[in-house]
Amino acid sequence: MTAVAFLRPEFIESFPPEMMRGVLYVSIPYATCGHLCACGCGQEIVTPLSPAQWALTYDGQNASLRPSIGNWGLPCRSHYWIKEGVVRWSRRYTADEIADNRTRDRRDLQEHLGKNNPGPIAKLIRRFRP
């Protein structure tokens, strides 16, 4: 498959059994977005929405996610931004940069959730993030 250049937002309650290429699924009830990797490898990418993870912006037509999508655990190791639906490719990170990024992400999430009360979302997040 080839890479996609644009992701069209589709607001849903829960993800479909099979995600479609070129669609950014947005679940407000579950505060989560999902899409097939923009590189075309077919892997499902899940981005939990929270102050410690990803933020969604919707302008009435297109969606943006911040920060970037870094698929460090996938064979494709793709890295891109989704800005107003457009996929903008970023450089590949070094192994040290990936390790630093993962450490920071874990720290930020732990601070957000609270060390003694991670709640059910922590289990969901661990399922999708190494």
pLDDT digits (tens, 9 = 90+) for 80-100: 999 999 999 988 878 788 777
What's the token pair of residue 119? 């709640």
User: Domain limits of the chain?
Assistant: 8-93
What's the token pair of residue 19? 């995600």
Element (H, E) at 27: strand 23-27
**pLDDT-based confidence at residue 119 (cuts at 50, 70, 90):** low
Give pLDDT tens digits for 17-27: 999 999 999 99
What's the token pair of residue 41? 């490898």
Residue 90 near residue 80 (C-beta atoms within 8 A)? yes
What's the token pair of residue 18? 């099979």
CA 110 vs. chain centroid, Å, equals 18
Looking at residue 124, what is its pLDDT? Answer: 46
Statement: the pTM of the whole predicted model exceeds 0.85: no
